[in-house]
Structure 1
Amino acid sequence: MADRDWDSPDALVLINVLEKMRARDGLTLARLQDGRNGVSAPLLGLAATRRYATVHNVELGPAALEVVGQCVRFTMSGTDQIVADAILALGLFADVYSQHGLDSRVVQALSADSLGRRRNALLVHWRRLHESMGHSPGEPPSDRALRGTTEREVLRELARQLIRREVYSVGSKSVVMPTPGENTANSTPALPKGKVIVVGGAVMDATFRTKNLPARETSSEAYGFDLSPGGKGLTQAVAAARLGLDVSLIAAVADDRFGQEIIHYLRDEGVDTSLIKIVHEARTPFTGVIEMELGDSIAVNWRNQMEVRLDVRDVDQRSHELTNCDAVLVTFEIPRETVQHTLALVHGEDDNRPLMIVTPGQPYPDEGISRHSLTQIDYLVAHAWELGRYAPAGQERFDPDPVARNMLAYGVETLCMLVNGGCTIYSESAHEAFSVPTFPSIYKESSAARDAFCAALAAKLIDNDRVFSEQAAFWAAAAMSCATADFPLSNSMPDRKRIEALLSRSRFTVKAAPVVPEPDPQY
């Protein structure tokens, strides 16, 4: 979008709203919810606000306050952050200021119900505030320059970021807000709960958000940081719970303070933790993630499998639960022998055995699982690059289509190959492959998006009495798209309402791809 578009009528309206809201006690929840003057209506009407309200099941006022706060925290920097926080009385950095020794009276003055008092505290403590936030202070403006120039430019930048989130968050256009008085609890018929068990990893993610990666032997400043529970197993369990399934996680978790945080998080999300293996006197595995503005990321895993690991014996101890559920989701975060044993255990039951949905990321570095284990997978949900070792012999360049045919020849029932937010389905039970389109979003597909796909696929298969169809794949792809479009939110795993809202506005249909030739017998 060209720079001049930031001064569009919509942006100018937002600047005017923010200028009015900074007066008196600032941008408070009470003023946002005050419907008498309608000043806050443009903020409440933002699609980004409506999306946040829908995803988090909150009213528009708290949603607007959170969206503004996220823009100040994560997309503004330096002086802009500090000034926006003070003149709007947001109080976002009060803890930071206190930790760096600012007097409590100064911190309170920055959130006072008088704009003049907030301005005075900002100017008097300009240097200390910047140093607390790790920014170079520069010379403070005069009171006149602050009022006439600096504040105007800061609010213009904030309006720009709000418009940026509005325009680029394509998924926000799919949000359907309930009409006043609508009983959303009764709007969708209740579905019977399915029982799902996830076997995978539960770690802590240390996520640094940055605009640029530093060169070797240099460093760069991150504009955001988060320490939170993660791991594919944990995320798939949370995603399934959001879809109303009865979910248990089988994972190994240390008993240190981070492990306790993981357990509390899972319980808060409605995931049963009774099958988790607690490892005493061990350290929680960590993943270091460097995340870019549009969601693409790189990561370094420290699995600590010498201390924290799920063994074959641990699976045997939970065999009754594993063989008496509707679906088992397995990730390659656990040792290869444990994955293979889990597949054999579940697949050894009768025709009513649980469905097996497997995620092969990250692939094992030395070799894959055995060909016999591949025959025990009902649904393999993979990125193309994860399947490189299964390419036909002599293939000079990587071509995912022959690889997919090989996977079916090895015995995988259905391969869901994820590509750029959409997926292509190869299945032994169908006569032709078909592609499910992506729902456009400026954000890049994250690893969590696949976790949403796996959980949604399990949910739809359970809903449909295990019958797989193009519509089931489309629904799972929509869940993945919701997780991608909602990437800036701290909670991007969608519920059923969020998925249905996206589908209700979709212009896509599922179309069959050309018939896939039979695999070459030599492979």
Structure 2
Amino acid sequence: MRESVAVLGSIHMDLLVGAPRLPTLGETLMGENWYQTPGGKGLNQAVSCARAGVHVAMYGAVGHDGFGDTLLDYMKSQHVSTHHVTRVRDARSGISIVVRTPDDYGAVVSSQVNAALSRGSVAHWAQRLAHTDMLVLQNEIPEEVNVAAALLVRRAGGQVVLNAAPARTLSRELSDQLTLLVVNAVEASMMGTGEVHDLDAAARACAQLQAMLGCAVVVTAGPHGAAWMLGSGECGNVAGIKVDVITSHGAGDAFIGHLVAELSRERCLGDAVEVANRQAALFVSTPRPQEHRELA
């Protein structure tokens, strides 16, 4: 039996505090309410994809601690399969400390058990990963893990999607296995495309990255929308949808989850980007107080 989508990546507990602005260097800033909520790019993207109605299996690790219990329970409640999430004894679950302002956020990640993933972890999962139609990766786990998993899935005939976030040097060993790269404006710029400040710049960044890597590319440009390009050179873009933004935290993961869900249904890339763009706009403009209260 093949699995539709597998997400291999980070599983964190996010600790968020509200503040009027981000603190400056050396400053102690008085904050507002705080809460905890499951996060990590891997977990967020898996949940987003599952909410779009696709069967998703999560691959990763949590510690033997209270956060690990909560993270596993949360994924199960969101219909994400946790059969391939390893619990590591004498290790802590990953966390992210987030300062959220009315129109921005800043975060520091402590990977903990996520950083302990290895090629051996992939070997343990090999039998199931080889039956995956689409593998989704990010850059919050070691590069060697992404490479090993991508090689395995591609050799078995599956597709590999990389959300290159946070930005880091992309090895040729990994880039050669990609069928789709998804980056935001900052990440595209850090990969050498120049500043992405609007939809036209996003389209140019797509062309540059596609020429560099040879795979399909999507570049998101925040409120401006997103641009895409296939390996064949076919391209397009989708304008941003004007909404009242409550918080942009997690918007990229919502976009990718819905993008992957549509691609797993064999929608063309342009149509998938359009759906993902619409769902990301809905995500950033929808209050999520109940979810936060339950996890506080």
TM-score (norm 1): 0.51
SS of the residue 1:442 aligns to? coil
The aligned residue for residue 409 of structure 1 is 211
The one-letter code sitting in structure 2 at the alignment partner of 1:424 is A
- Equivalent position amino acid for 2:107 in 1: A
Q: Within the alignment, does 1:462 sit opposite 2:264 as a pair?
A: yes
* Mapped pair 1:377 → 2:187: no
- Verify the 8 A CA contact 1:204 1:230 in the aligned structure 2: yes
- Which amino acid in the other structure matches residue 483 of structure 1? F
Aligned to 1:116: none
Flag the 1:345–1:445 CA change in 2: closer, same or farther, 3 A: farther
> Which residue is equivalent to 1:249?
58
When Rg is computed on C-alpha atoms for both structures, the one with the higher figure is 1
Identical positions, percent: 23
Q: 2:107 aligns with which of 266, 291, 299?
A: 299
Taking the TM superposition and a 5 Å limit, the aligned residue runs for 1:62-77 are: none
1:346 aligns with: 153
Report SS of the residue matched to 2:83.
coil
2:143 alignment partner, one of 329, 336, 339: 336
1:90-146 C-alpha deviation (Å, 9 max, x unpaired): xxxxxxxxxxxxxxxxxxxxxxxxxxxxxxxxxxxxxxxxxxxxxxxxxxxxxxxxx
Deviations 1:457-490 (A, max 9, x none): 22212223xx524222211111111111115545
CA distance in 2, matches of 1:491, 1:416: 30
Return the offset for 1:195: 2.1
Q: Distance in 1 between matches of 2:190 and 2:115?
A: 28
- Taking the aligned partners of 1:414 and 1:445, their CA distance within structure 2 comes to 29
Give the aligned partner of residue 152 of structure 1: none
1:76-115 matches, within 5 Å, as none
What residue in structure 1 maps to residue 274 of structure 2? 474
- 1:428 and 1:227, CA in 2 relative to 1: closer, same or farther beyond 3 A? same
SS of residue paired to 1:249: strand
Alignment of 1:496-507 (within 5 A): none
| Greater relative CO, 1 or 2 (CA 8 Å, sep 6+) | 2
Q: Give 2:228's aligned residue.
A: 425
Tell me how far 1:251 sits from its aligned partner: 0.7
Correspondence for 2:92:
283
Gapped regions of structure 1 (runs ≥ 5): 1-192, 493-523
Q: Secondary structure at the match of 1:278?
A: strand
State the 1:231 CA deviation. Answer: 0.3
Conserved? CA contact 1:340–1:369, under 8 Å? no
Pick from 225, 236, 247 the counterpart of residue 434 of structure 1: 236
Residues 355, 242 of structure 1: CA spacing in aligned structure 2 closer, same or farther, 3 A cutoff? same
State the 1:415 CA deviation: 0.8
1:310 maps to which of 106, 117, 129: 117
Structure-2 separation of matches of 1:245 and 1:454: 13
Q: 2:7 is matched with which residue: 198, 205, 216?
A: 198
- State the Cα RMSD in Å: 2.5
Map of 1:38-49 to 2, 5 A cutoff?
none
C-alpha change, 1:404 and 1:472, in structure 2 (3 Å) is closer
The answer on whether the counterparts of 1:371 and 1:410 sit within 8 Å (CA) in structure 2 is no
Q: For residues 316-355 of structure 1, what are the alpha-carbon distances to aligned partners after superposition, in whole Å with 9 as ceiling and x for unaligned?
A: 2112211212221111111011111111111112xxx222
How many angstroms apart in 1 are the aligned matches of 2:228 and 2:248? 20
Q: Does the Cα contact within 8 Å between 1:456 and 1:476 map onto a contact in 2?
A: yes
Query: What is the CA deviation profile of residues 405-457 of structure 1, one whole-angstrom value per residue up to 9, with x for unaligned ones?
Result: 332123342111000231011222343x3111111123177351111122212
Q: Contact 1:205 / 1:228 at 8 angstroms: preserved in 2?
A: yes
Q: Residue 243 of structure 1 aligns to which amino acid in structure 2?
A: A
Whether contact under 8 Å (1:198, 1:250) holds in the other structure is yes
**Which residue matches 1:209?**
18
Would you say the 8 A contact 1:358–1:377 is kept in 2?
Answer: yes
Secondary structure of the 2:22 match is coil
**Count of residue pairs brought into register by the alignment:** 286
Q: Measure, in 2, the Cα distance between the counterparts of 1:447 and 1:417.
A: 18
Cα distance change, pair 332–279 in 1 and its aligned pair in 2 (3 A): same
Contact 1:282 1:308 in 2 (8 A): no
Letter in 2 for 1:331: Q
Give the alignment partner of residue 361 of structure 1, picking from 156, 165, 169. Answer: 165
Q: Which residue of 1 aligns with 2:77?
A: 268
CA deviations 1:349-375 (Å, max 9, x no partner) are: 2xxx222221111123xxx12224213
Q: In 1, Cα distance between the equivalents of 2:88 and 2:3?
A: 29
Secondary structure of the corresponding residue to residue 486 of structure 1? coil
Residue 69 of structure 2: SS of its match in structure 1? helix
Distance 1:212 1:457, change over 3 A: closer
Alpha carbons 2:96, 2:109 under 8 Å: kept = yes
TM-score normalised by L of structure 2: 0.87
